[in-house]
Amino acid sequence: MLNGNNAGFPGFDECPPSTVFRLMGLSGSREGIGCGFLHKKTRRADHVNLHWPRYVLVIVLRGSGLFIDENGGEYRLHEGDSFQRFPGRLHSNYVDVESGYLECYLECGVAFYQALRAMRIIRSDVPVRYAAPDMELVNRIWNLYCALKNAGEDQLPELAGEFIAILGRCHRRNASETPAPDVDNIIELACEELIADFDRNFDLKKFCRQNGWGYEHFRKVFRQRVGISPWQYRVRRRLDTACSMLRDSDHPIAEIAARLGYSSAYEFSAQFKKYIGISPLYFREGRGG
């Protein structure tokens, strides 16, 4: 689908207003992916106090503007910068109409957004990121637009993969341009400590005190960056380890439970079934699919 059959991006002045959104999944589903290119030369107030129903990442290709987040924070926008519309979050944005404003965007449904956020492909901690223009990225979005417009239903899953890859590149590019070393380092350290030894208790309050963070503030920042709470992160990673041990070893389930710090095989089985959907025994035997 994206092997060179599509023409390259036509250029800022030649680019027509071009948008596409394709529904995916079962009949009646509102989930899907889309992208587009839009000139905005006639109105300064683009969106005011908007609750957008889907997730959108917008990249400013030319011109300038202003983004206002749900807390009233104001961010000036210039070429290469990007901002995010989060589902259900209030925001506003304005365009400097004399600047010849042109943007491109990527859009997806709420369930898709939540999954990508949980996997940290989407970073929701900062609504606006600053980065240099990237024409290779623009060409990929243009080719995705062309492919989505012409794709058959059976080709959409492949294009969803390309959508994820492009979105991931956007966030990695932006993150590299706007590093936050203190926050990133403490989150990385916490993640390492949370999974360092599952058979001992991890005292998050003590960890916060030792590193000069307030407990509630740290939990809020962790959830913003990772998408889940520290406790949920530890549970997920412990169950990831459990899945690997069940697949790759013959250790009894009670022994695996003990190695992972569970008080009993029953506690382990109950939590495993709650999050994975089947018992450890069914998972090991491959009877859950």
Range of the domain at 212: 182-284
Domains of the chain: total = 2
Residue 148 lies in a domain: yes
CA distance 205 to 274: 27
Are 79 and 155 in the same domain?
yes
The answer to whether the pTM exceeds 0.75 is: no
- 97 & 196 share domain: no
Same-domain check for residues 172 and 47: yes
Cα 62 to Cα 280: distance, rounded to the nearest angstrom:
54
**Residue 2 falls within a domain, yes or no?**
no
In a domain, 9, yes or no: no
Is 33 a domain residue?
yes
Q: Are residues 153 and 233 in the same domain?
A: no
Of 177, 206, 221, the last residue of a domain is: 177
- Contact between 162 and 53 under an 8 Å Cβ cutoff? The reply is no
* pLDDT tens digits in sequence order for the chain, 289 residues long: 455 445 678 888 888 889 999 998 766 677 999 999 999 877 677 788 888 899 999 999 999 999 988 878 888 888 988 999 999 888 999 999 889 999 999 999 999 999 998 888 888 777 888 877 889 999 999 999 999 999 999 999 999 999 999 999 988 775 444 444 467 788 889 999 999 888 888 899 999 888 878 888 888 888 878 888 999 999 999 999 999 999 888 889 999 999 999 999 999 999 999 989 999 998 988 754 4
